[in-house]
Chains A and B, each alone.
Chain A
Amino acid sequence: MNSMTIDNKYKALVFRVTLVSLICILSNSGCKKFVEIKPPINQTISDEVFQSNELAISAVTGIYSEMMSTSGRFSSGEVTFYAGMAADELTYQTPTFRDEFVGNRITEAGQAILLSAFWDRAYKFIYTANICLEKMNAPTATISNEVRRMLEGECRFIRAFCYFHMVNLFGDVPMPEGSDFRINMNLPRTPAEKVYELIIHDLEAASELLLEQYPTPPTRVRPNKYAALALLAKVYLYRNEWAKAEIAATQIINYPIYKLDTLDSVFKKASVEAIWQLLPVNSTFNNTWEGQIILPTSTSYLLTDTLYKSFEPNDRRKNAWVGQKTVSGITRFYPAKYKVKTNKDKLEYYVVFRLAEQYLIRAEARTHLNKLMEAAADINFIRNRAWLSNTTANTQDALYSAIAQERKIELFAEWGNRWYDLKRTKKADAELKNLPIKAPYWTTNDTLWPIPNSQIIANPNLTQNPGY
């Protein structure tokens, strides 16, 4: 064959293949495009999550699932247990590191649980909420507007819920508002005031974004508008914003689906009192971690004598919500709001917010607003359900005491309410320092738990709370 012919025939081809591809490759845009790769299939990246309503919902509901997935999380019982011990509600039957909380003398061992159950978990949920908030509002997101509003409301609610507990337990805490670790890793502690500002901002937004109806009725296992308002009312109360607290609580109390349930049903799955419940996800016992952990075993949490003795005679709650067992010949009492340790069916859900608390919030707000009659009426809703007669308090001070007492009993061993109340009403010192279980160690610094030391090493911008 004539070589010239071949040369001519392929000359153009080789030139083109070589030069064109060289130019293509060297051009910047082609380059960047080439190294963009398809996402993995076993994992989903955040941008993809918010391209599907179902995936987006499964990402946000993943937080609730994680809140309940194992024991040892602030959201599955540890706030109740550890804040209960730090206050005057609970003790532990056998000596363990938990005694550091009962005696308010937290050291290394106690810090481990503060890291794993509180610090680590709360920030994981906050991170998840943050990245969801970022990605659902990113240009790449294609979820429907309804779903976006619902999920944004839920994420803001979750973030507020986590920061609420963190700020109450640790005081000033770092406050990531986004997902970028490069920023978050160096954040110092934000003053509690500022944290509350974010909480209020989030909750106000959430109460606008969320619908009155629950996302998956009839269950109340995902927050609706009133769940956001329930936490908001509590936050207003803690911030002494009485009028706002009263309005928020009233909105909930007036919403027809919420009613005070019978004492036996308050913590059941179909409780009409519940405003927000967490769905148990453990497949071996199917019910709450509190039921699993507290209900009698050889070691578990017990009520303090102080608390047990605080029940008025004839208070039905004593029978309904307190259990008893004999340990070493002595009768001991334990919280028994949850009664199912294990069952093949889910009988009890974990109640986070319920109507009774809203009555007590409103009563306290109204007392401050000098609406004493209305305040007393609110207290009486709670007392009457417990088969107690109306309160006799008729002055502001008397009503404060009556409300404090009622909160102590109605909300005992429930989400740290007692510990938080003692701190916010500045009564912790007075009520705790003389208790025999705390006396030798108690100092005013103990109202705040220590920041886990490993975190101060990992982020030198963090400071420790006084006294640790």
Chain B
Amino acid sequence: MKTDGTFHINIWAVVCNIVRYSTKKLAVVNTSNSTFRRASKIIALLLPFLLLTTFSAFSQITISKINVSLEDIFFAITKQAGYNVIYKEEQIQKANKVSINVENASVTSVLDFLARLLPIKYSISGKNITIDFDANNGTPGSPPGIALTGKVTDASGNPLPGTTISIKNVKGIGAIVNSDGEFALYDIDPASTLEISHIGYDTRIIKLDNRKTLLIALNLQVRSLEEFVTNGYTSTPRKYEVGSIKKINFDQIPKQIGNNIFAAIQGRIPGMMITQQSGLPGSPYRVQIRGQRSIGLSGQLPNNSPLFVVDGVPFLSSSESISQKGGVLSNNPFSTLNPEDIESIEVLKDANATSIYGSLGANGVVLITTRRAKVGVASLNLNIYSGLSTITRAPDLMNTEEYLAMRKEAFRNDNEIPNVNNAPDLSTWNNNRYNNWKDLLIGGTAHFTDAHLRFAGGSQYTQFALSGGYNRETTVFPTDQGKSFTSASFNFSHKTPSKKLEFNLSASYGYDRNKLFAVDPTQFIASVPNSPNPFKEDGTLNFGGPLESAFSNPFAYLYQPYNVTMERLTTGFRLEYRPIKKLSLRTSAGYNLISCDEVYQIPIASQDPRNSPTGAASFATSKNRNWIIEPQVEYWDTTTNSNLKILVGSSLRSRTGISNLLDGFNYTNDAGLNSISNAGTVTAINDYSQYKVISAYALINYILQKKYIVEATVRRDGSSRFGPNRKFGNFASLAAGWIFTNEKLMGKPSSVLSFGKLRLAYGTSGNDQIGDYQFLDAWVNNTRNPYQNPTILPSRLANLDYHWEVQRSLDIGLDLEFFKKRFMLSATFNQGRTGDQLLSITLPVQTGFARVIRNYPALTQNRNLEIELTSSNIRSKDWSWNTSINISFLRNKLVRFPDLKNSDYGNNRFVIGKPLNIVWGYRTGEMDKNTGIYPILDRNGKKIDIPTSLPTLDDQVVLGTYDPEYFGGMENKIDWKNWQLQFLFQFVKQMGQDPIYSNDRVPGYAVNQPRSLLNRWVTSGSNAPYPEYTQSGNSPAAISWFFVNSSDLAFSDASYIRLKNISLTYDLPESWFRNLKIRKCSLYVLGQNILTFTKFIGFDPETWQSKYALPPLKTFAAGIQVNF
């Protein structure tokens, strides 16, 4: 033992009761056992291949620690084996840190191990160990093996114990990850390649490239039963889930063009019908889960949009628009979410999953989770793509020659002579001119570019992620303008080393700017083909004249800008504390702000100067603020035989809406349109609304013997949307599952059926989509008539009694897995019945009002059958091919409606036993070959003698329903070496409106028509599907046509199968960029709406409901993704 002078005592040493002699950096370590343990916790590691240590007969040492200093190892030796270790502190501090994992090892084996890693020599004499550094001993042998330590987690940073680490092409060396997710490997080739695998997760291959520490996150395999699904506020492995939940991991689906999350999940979720409303950028989607439940106040079926929750904060519903001027262009607040920032979407469909959302859950719940920070080496991910879009399909319209022939024939049929007044197209307009309005207005190519950058990483304790995105898209219209979108997000998580305290902070922001026009020009493609050119020679808009008759110039609308700016800010924070291992206390809070600014201008220059127009401009702002606080306590207990989980929580939610709208008229010059102060007259409206929900809920989940699962949920809700007497209500559900393949009676799990689960769930949930304040009476300003002074009028009766609609839903499901996950089948039958319908019910006017909103004992029913199949068709070294198919059948009906006949909902609206979305129309007879007119039949099937008598509503019959008969999707994923091909077919079997027969523009009028109409009745005996042309409003042909518009002829098949998404990805071989610090680089091409198979003529069958709106676009894109 050498001493070299003065003592050096630091605080640490005092605390630990360590005496350290050092001026010339020599120390003797002698510690007391208990304090040492308290001071530093040693993390246990398993290292099977280091079993060499067990042969030692000497005092045994157990130590496992990553990146530990030699000093700490010496402490342990001193402590556990009672040796004194003598060393020079100066040298020791220079030495690299090491990772060590030994159990009951001898002192010598530990020292030998250290000597292999570090340039040290040791000598033992009695109880003293002397350590000497040997600078020349740095490279024992060549090449030197390195020590590697690391941690393996799942994508959320939870440790994945049991993961195997093996070294490629080296047999017998490897590691198994311990319960904290950590592992260590020693003396391995720094250029080796590791294979990290865990059941249920995608295996990862990692090149070591001299790295000495690795943080590895494994992604779940598609559809794995081990995958966790979030059941409202807690999560369960899919294997034990008893509710009906579908999760989409955005990592596993192709990239989406444009920022619309609905496009990404369309066709992938059984029971969820998603319909795009138009092909305009940022256009809304209609989303409905398991059918129409509500009848609605006016009998106009409300959207029944599910509850959307983004990172725990309720979002707007898919049917809500906060734009005030939008109309067909109404923007979709969801376009402020960047799909590239989304990690997963979970759709909760049944009562078990949704009853924890109480009065809000009846229409289903969609949980959107943005990308969390993850454990792993900091990496930079860059993704850039660019592409083109055109319209999918459009009707083939007549050219000038065909059009003029139609017009002339129409006049001949009507025995009228065309003149300047009744036919400018035949008289003053140039008969040789051909303006192909379809090509002019919507024939363009839209361009878009998207860039997204993400920087993420973190240690096991602290993780972060930062991302930013930008994209820009133009339209198919003749303008350069379009939509641009910028997003940024940030996520940070930290947990203390004790893992008792954990918090997560996130913020994301989206800025969506849409510069378009308020009127969709698509509706003008049927303008007269020989109408004047849209522009005069001087470049100004042409409205006809002086030699030509005036015309309504469709291009005028392109000069009426409508700009919308939407912003979204979502911030959330979650704090979790685990005082003991089985208990978690947590509180999450979130805030979400969505704002929308609109400017809509009608310049004088965009209007026909002959009308001496003035300008108009509107300025609208609206803001929607949401906040939520949710404290929760969760307790769980796991024994070998059972798992118990109890969750108790509550939720406070507030939503405030504010809007202002200024309409300015009578602008005298276009330069002033940017300010409301230049308007001649101004009208202003503002609004404010508030909505609050308070809830308390509890959930118990019990799994016995990995076979029997029981889950019960209760929730008590109070909502500000209901009167003081009815604000509170209770909801509950009970679910059970039975994994029968784990039953002993079945013997060992057979190799055919490897997993089977039967599940059953029943419960209640509510729908409060009624609007705010409806229960209060209300007075409105009497704007018409002051009585000396302004007055106010009562506008509504107070109804303190109404409450949410209540849905009772039953789910029966079967999940099967065959041939070791090669083939999986999941089928769910659901029956949901919604009663206490909120209707506007007729009152005797002696009450002061003719109607009041009340819960009415009408009952609607939806029966769903949802089937999902997943199959691994090929699984080999180079090849893999997976297919998943889902299909949903839906039957909706009105079960009960007391006194339907006498209510406002009876006549020609609802029928008991029929779907809510019922279609009424006239029946038509065979075309009269003598007149070229379709006869309309009366209720008895007799022809109505038009125009002497006219059909009435009484003559209408039920033609069917617009509800889809079935819908679904089929996805294929094919991997071959570095190539991956993924494509999704989406299909819908449904009825819609025939675009020609439902067209209220009579064939022969001064409107262009599809070329199909050339096949019309010409003379007596003609055998054609379309009636004679007419240009008169009073001719029997025209009158008949008006009724044909809503007849069985107009009710036609709008089914389609569509290649919705296709993507081909090529991962560049790593050897190409090994020296560029690039980890991964892929090139890909994407396509959307590439092929559509349908009998539907005209525009797109998906958007048949908005007949004159731009259909969804067909898109191609190519991109590159680089990971540094």
Contacts and interface: CB of A to CB of B under 8 A. Distances in A.
Given A35-B692, A181-B849, A68 B785 contact: yes
A19 interface: yes
Given A11-B577, A19-B585, A58-B790, A45 B848 contact: no
B779 A59 contact: yes
A124 B787 contact: no
A449 B718 CA distance: 49
A457 B585 contact: no
A35 B846 contact: no
Contact of B686 (A13, A42, A69, A458): A42
Contacts of A43: 773, 776, 778-780, 795-796
Nearest to B503: A10
B718 A31 contact: yes
A9 to B, nearest CB: 9
Interface stretch (A145-153, A182-190, A193-201, A238-246): A182-190
A65 B776 contact: no
Interface in A8-31: 10-11, 13-15, 17-19, 21-22, 25-26, 31
Given A7-B498, A18-B585, A18-B633, A49 B844 contact: no
Contact of A124 (B575, B688, B689, B845): B845
Task: Identify the interface centre among B501, B693, B850: most chain A CB within 10 Å of its CB.
Answer: B501
B731 to A, nearest CB: 16
Given A37-B692, A131-B777, A6 B847 contact: no
Interface string B767-806: 0000011001111101011111111111111110100000
Interface residues of B, number: 72
B404 interface: no
Interface string A54-94: 11011101101110110000000000000000000000000
A127 interface: yes
B842 interface: yes
B576 to A, nearest CB: 8
B650 interface: yes
B587 A128 contact: no
B843 interface: yes
A363 B852 CA distance: 48
Contact of B689 (A40, A119, A221): A40
A120 B501 contact: no
Contacts of B789: 54, 57-58, 61
A17 B688 contact: no
A6 B689 CA distance: 42
B696 A25 contact: yes
A360 B611 CA distance: 61
B579 interface: yes
Given A45-B779, A61-B787, A279-B788, A6 B799 contact: no
B499 to A, nearest CB: 9
A222 to B, nearest CB: 8
B727 interface: yes
B801 A4 contact: no
Contacts of A308: none
A86 B779 CA distance: 36
B586 A3 contact: no
Given A26-B650, A59-B792, A14 B501 contact: yes
B631 interface: yes
Task: Identify the interface centre among B576, B694, B845, B852: most chain A CB within 10 Å of its CB.
Answer: B845
B967 to A, nearest CB: 38
A44 B792 contact: yes
A32 B844 contact: no
A174 B845 CA distance: 10
Contact of B778 (A44, A65, A219): A44
A345 B326 CA distance: 42
Contact of B501 (A7, A26, A40): A7
B778 A40 contact: yes
B497 interface: yes
Contacts of A39: 773, 776
A281 B801 contact: no
B786 to A, nearest CB: 7
Given A26-B696, A34-B692, A128-B794, A281 B845 contact: no
A401 to B, nearest CB: 39
Contact of B784 (A6, A69, A131, A184): A69
A10 B585 CA distance: 12
A115 interface: yes
A343 B374 CA distance: 79
A459 B846 contact: yes
A309 interface: no
Nearest to A55: B792
A31 B694 CA distance: 7
Nearest to B685: A42
Contacts of B852: 181
A454 to B, nearest CB: 8
B243 to A, nearest CB: 24
Contacts of B685: 42
Interface residues of A, number: 74
B855 to A, nearest CB: 13
B798 to A, nearest CB: 7
Contacts of A459: 844, 846
B577 A66 contact: no
Contact of A6 (B501, B693, B795): B501
B14 to A, nearest CB: 16
Given A18-B585, A45-B776, A459-B846, A10 B501 contact: yes
A458 B844 contact: yes
Contacts of A458: 842-845
A22 B697 CA distance: 10
A216 interface: yes
Nearest to A127: B848
Contacts of A291: none
Contacts of B791: 58-59, 61-62, 65
A59 B692 CA distance: 29
A219 B652 CA distance: 55
A18 B631 contact: yes
Nearest to A462: B844
Contact of B718 (A18, A35, A40, A57): A35
A3 B579 CA distance: 13
Given A37-B692, A44-B779, A221-B787, A15 B577 contact: yes
B36 interface: no
Contacts of A174: 844, 846
A330 interface: no
B579 A11 contact: yes
A38 interface: yes
Nearest to B650: A25
A14 B848 contact: no
Interface string B685-704: 11111111110100000000
Task: Identify the interface centre among A3, A4, A68: most chain B CB within 10 Å of its CB.
Answer: A3
B577 A123 contact: no
B957 interface: no
B773 A185 contact: no
Contacts of A3: 496-498, 500
A372 interface: no
Given A14-B587, A34-B692, A61-B788, A176 B846 contact: yes
Interface string B312-348: 0000000000000000000000000000000000000
Contacts of B575: 10, 13-14, 17
Interface string B576-596: 110100000111000000000
Interface of B: 496-498, 500-501, 575-577, 579, 585-587, 629, 631-633, 648-650, 652, 685-694, 696, 718-720, 727-728, 772-773, 776-780, 782, 784-799, 801, 842-850, 852, 902
6 contacts: A18-B587, A21-B587, A26-B650, A31-B694, A35-B727, A128-B848
Given A45-B776, A57-B789, 19 more contacts: A3-B496, A3-B498, A7-B496, A7-B500, A10-B577, A18-B632, A18-B633, A22-B631, A22-B633, A35-B718, A35-B719, A41-B687, A45-B779, A62-B779, A62-B787, A65-B791, A69-B785, A185-B843, A458-B842
